[in-house]
């Protein structure tokens, strides 16, 4: 572990190279390691994407300095893009469905971004439409569109995937990660499966989300409380490549919340609901490997804890289950 770091010129230099820490409740002989993405400066995995998107769009000339990046986002991507925008001479504007946490919206505004809300019932699909409508009315504006942009998975293929691979000297038997845009899972699984084709890949989503349909499950859409993962309309998730995924695991709101509370109490990890869901699924994969029910090239499971619980305190993330659930 580095104890001293060189002084840096910009906060953007602190994006990535996050710690990989064992989930202590995983079996002794099949450890689960979680990548702790709240160590990024905007406190989520999406800082990687924010920096990568703004950098690539400027490099490619899709937008000129002084232009506007308009993005539909649940919040974390907005924080990542807004952070990058402060250092790269672009404006940031976000279209956010109302249900997402107040903390995230406050942070985006504090980083200088403009926020436009859309009704929760109309889902991410409406947020995407509104982002495009606004970009059409503006000069020098771009919608990176994280749900469709190959740059999203590429950001993780360039950073998160190699960091995991190097930290474990390539000894990765299974990858388990939540899917919102699916950029995280596609990038990590893409990088690792090129080097280890037999790696087992599990996509994680809330009960009530529809990725499981890609594996033939007969599931219907229902509202859920876990933030940042899941889909109500598979048509918007252009990055999800089912051929890279061995299984889709659904986790209930209750199980995710119980696990995030356990992670705090027993392991000192202040993580949010999508990490709770990832941990439930990753421990389950590890248990199946330990029981001899799943063949993998290495007895090591990797997952991602995308952000921190501090961002959701106002939603009652540590309250009793009934109080946390939206009416």
Near ligand PMP by CB under 6 A, which window of 11-19, 78-86, 181-189, 207-215?
A: 181-189
Q: Contact with ligand PMP (CB under 6 A): which of 68, 160, 231, 274?
A: 274
Q: Where are the alpha helices (DSSP H) in the chain?
A: 46-59, 76-88, 102-110, 123-136, 150-158, 160-167, 183-195, 253-267, 273-290, 321-324
Active-site annotation holder among 35, 46, 261, 315: 46
Task: Report yes or no: 126 and 152 within 8 Å, Cβ to Cβ.
Answer: no
Dist CA 327 CA 150 (whole Å): 36
The answer to whether residue 26 is catalytic is no
Q: Contact with ligand PMP (CB under 6 A): which of 180, 206, 230, 276?
A: 180
Q: Contact with ligand PMP (CB under 6 A): which of 307, 309, 315, 317?
A: 307
Spatial neighbors of 33 by CB under 8 A, at least 6 apart, are 20, 21, 22, 23, 164, 167, 168, 300, 301, 302, 303
Spatial neighbors of 25 by CB under 8 A, at least 6 apart, are 262, 266, 267, 283
The answer to whether residue 261 is catalytic is no
76 binds ligand PMP, rule: CB under 6 A: yes
The number of C-alpha atoms within 13 Å of 246 and in the hemisphere containing its C-beta is 17
Q: Contact with ligand PMP (CB under 6 A): which of 74, 113, 199, 251?
A: 74
Give the dihedral sign, CA 105/324/21/34.
Answer: negative
Q: Contact with ligand PMP (CB under 6 A): which of 42, 80, 183, 276?
A: 183
**Residue list 222-251, contact with ligand PMP (CB under 6 A):** 227-229
Nearer to ligand PMP, 249 or 289 (CB): 249
16 binds ligand PMP, rule: CB under 6 A: no
Near ligand PMP by CB under 6 A, which window of 22-30, 51-59, 176-184, 206-214?
A: 176-184
Residue nearest ligand PMP, Cβ-based: 228
Spatial neighbors of 216 by CB under 8 A, at least 6 apart, are none
Region class of 263: left (phi > 0), else alpha (psi between -120 and 50), else beta? alpha
CB of 258 to ligand PMP, least distance (A): 18
| Active site (catalytic) residues | 46, 274
Which residues bind to ligand PMP, rule: CB under 6 A?
46, 74, 76, 178-184, 227-229, 272, 274, 306-307
């Amino acid at each position: 572990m580095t104890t001293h770091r060189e002084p840096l010129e910009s906060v953007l230099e602190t994006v990535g190279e996050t710690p990989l820490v064992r989930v202590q409740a995983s079996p002794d002989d099949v450890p689960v390691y979680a990548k702790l993405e709240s160590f990024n400066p905007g406190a989520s995995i999406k800082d990687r994407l924010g920096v990568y998107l703004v950098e690539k769009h400027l490099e490619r000339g899709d937008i000129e300095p002084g232009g506007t990046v308009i993005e539909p986002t649940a919040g974390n991507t907005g924080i990542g893009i807004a952070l990058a925008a402060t250092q790269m001479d672009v404006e940031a504007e976000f279209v956010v469905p109302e249900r997402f946490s107040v903390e995230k919206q406050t942070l985006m505004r504090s980083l200088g971004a403009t926020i436009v809300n859309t009704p929760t019932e109309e889902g991410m699909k409406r947020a995407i439409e509104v982002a495009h409508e606004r970009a059409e009315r503006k000069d020098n504006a771009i919608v990176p569109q994280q749900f469709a942009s190959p740059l999203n998975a590429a950001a993780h293929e360039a950073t998160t995937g190699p960091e995991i691979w190097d930290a474990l000297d390539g000894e990765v038997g299974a990858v388990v990660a939540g899917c919102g845009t699916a950029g995280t899972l596609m990038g990590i699984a893409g990088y690792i499966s090129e080097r280890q084709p037999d790696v087992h890949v599990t996509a994680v989503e809330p009960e009530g989300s529809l990725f499981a349909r890609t594996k033939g499950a007969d599931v219907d859409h229902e509202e859920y409380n876990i933030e940042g993962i899941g889909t109500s309309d598979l048509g918007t998730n252009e990055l999800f490549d089912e051929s890279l995924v061995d299984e889709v695991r659904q986790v209930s709101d209750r199980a995710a919340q119980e696990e995030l509370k356990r992670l705090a109490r027993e392991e000192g990890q202040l993580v949010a609901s999508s990490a709770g869901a990832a941990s439930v699924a990753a421990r389950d994969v590890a248990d199946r490997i330990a029981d001899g029910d799943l063949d993998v090239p290495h007895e090591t499971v990797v997952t991602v804890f995308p952000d921190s619980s501090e961002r959701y305190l106002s939603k009652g993330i540590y309250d009793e289950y009934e109080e946390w659930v939206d009416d």
